[in-house]
Structure 1
């Protein structure tokens, strides 16, 4: 192979896929060996982590992915997808519109919560007990980011987000069976308790807080926590976008036409 040809091949270096005519392999596994033998959750793990998880690890990952698929048209990602579906664009554009709404506020809470959990781990390694490390970690978080602690509290589900307790129960079961350590489950519940103590009333661990526990337990980095949530929510975006396309409608905005935005005279 000439030096120029090798330089061209170096342009897009990848350890994910090895492909040539008649051959496809992901992370060293021929595609024909993966098809029918691994689940979608295992394939996600293989693609992002480089190895295959155990069936129990993949099952726990899939629990988090199932929990985050949808939260109805009041969620900005779903609302945007449904509006786009009435504008004459294709389904791929509808999905892109919805997924592109997943930013730091809507969609990024899982990543931020995972960062908080890992910060508390760092504090624990310096010696304090869980209660102290959690209290100090939350205080430092609020000093940098403000009052809201990502992953806790929900504008609709009060005092319990129905997804949180179920996911945490599954993590606890996995810890009993040696699939995960349970360390991040302890941290998540400690954060929940500390926030509730400070506000004087219980607070929900929401979908972001619970899935962040799972992603951390399974060893995913905080940015991948956000990416996995986006992957999960894209299923809901697809479903709602397709449903809206079947229902029809033209140029639907965020409010029915009879309701007009409130005009504020700044003069």
Structure 2
């Protein structure tokens, strides 16, 4: 029996032109498909090129206004902190493997950023960490620490494999504290002006003394991005942009290398079920 489908018009009225408040282009008088002037949120593009940094203009595009000196400093520190996920990160390994496999260069960064999009160590963990921090701003850091500790103990009792991540952005890293992310966090606190989300997360982690939990890079990135006024949606995008240079550089380094330059799983490690 064929199921009858209820078909009807939605009566949606589609717009006739694409609109954006981010970028304005004034057509040339001689050719309407070329540009005589471009503006980003009202700021003339050439003036931005000559007077502002890449970090400031990136902030402007997403936020609609140039950053304050304090915001600029924090954003600059964050972007530089995230510039390379590390050669052990799956996204970097994907880029290197693709490069030695002679994948077309135009495809390497897209496929690697797709690997970077995961929920553990990827951009979606940043999205989830930002949601977690937003949802817990009315909770005291001490209560947050207690809840995180209790959740971690439950996870430890349930499994003896993998990392313990009781909340997105916070937990273990390869089974222990992520010491390098802690150094980055300390550096941010020493050189920038932390906002409410950074201070809350820092105080929460200070309240944990029974379980080996710490910042994960997604938690630190998420806290910084919230303090800079980014939403979880835009924060996830910024994280991908920030990590792209290191991933691309790893691919470029391997571009002229033979396929044997990267490890290949031994036959005994393949399991057919």
User: What TM-score does the superposition give when structure 1 sets the normalisation length?
Assistant: 0.78
Q: 1:27 aligns with which of 26, 41, 66?
A: 41
Question: Displacement of 1:57 after TM fit?
Answer: 1.0
Question: Displacement of 1:156 after TM fit?
Answer: 4.2
Matched, 1:191 2:197: no
Q: How does 1:1-267 map to 2 (within 5 A)?
A: 10-19=16-25, 20=27, 21-103=35-117, 104-107=119-122, 108-121=124-137, 123-124=138-139, 129-132=140-143, 135=146, 148=165, 149-156=167-174, 158-171=176-189, 173-175=191-193, 182-194=195-207, 196-197=208-209, 200-246=210-256, 248-250=257-259, 255-256=263-264, 259-264=266-271, 266=273
Distance 2:214 2:141 in 1: 20
SS in 1 for 2:214: coil
Question: Displacement of 1:186 after TM fit?
Answer: 2.5
Distance change (3 Å), C-alpha of 1:31 and 1:191:
same
Greater C-alpha Rg: 2
Distance 2:49 2:83 in 1: 24
SS in 1 for 2:244: helix
Distance 1:252 1:219 in 2: 43
Distance 1:61 1:153 in 2: 24
Structure 1: state its 5+ residue gaps.
Answer: 1-6
More helix by percentage: 1
2:57 and 2:66 in contact (8 A); partners too? yes
Distance change (3 Å), C-alpha of 1:263 and 1:94:
closer
Distance change (3 Å), C-alpha of 1:101 and 1:252:
farther
Quote the RMSD (CA, aligned, Å).
3.1
2:169 and 2:218 in contact (8 A); partners too? yes
Alignment size in residue pairs: 242
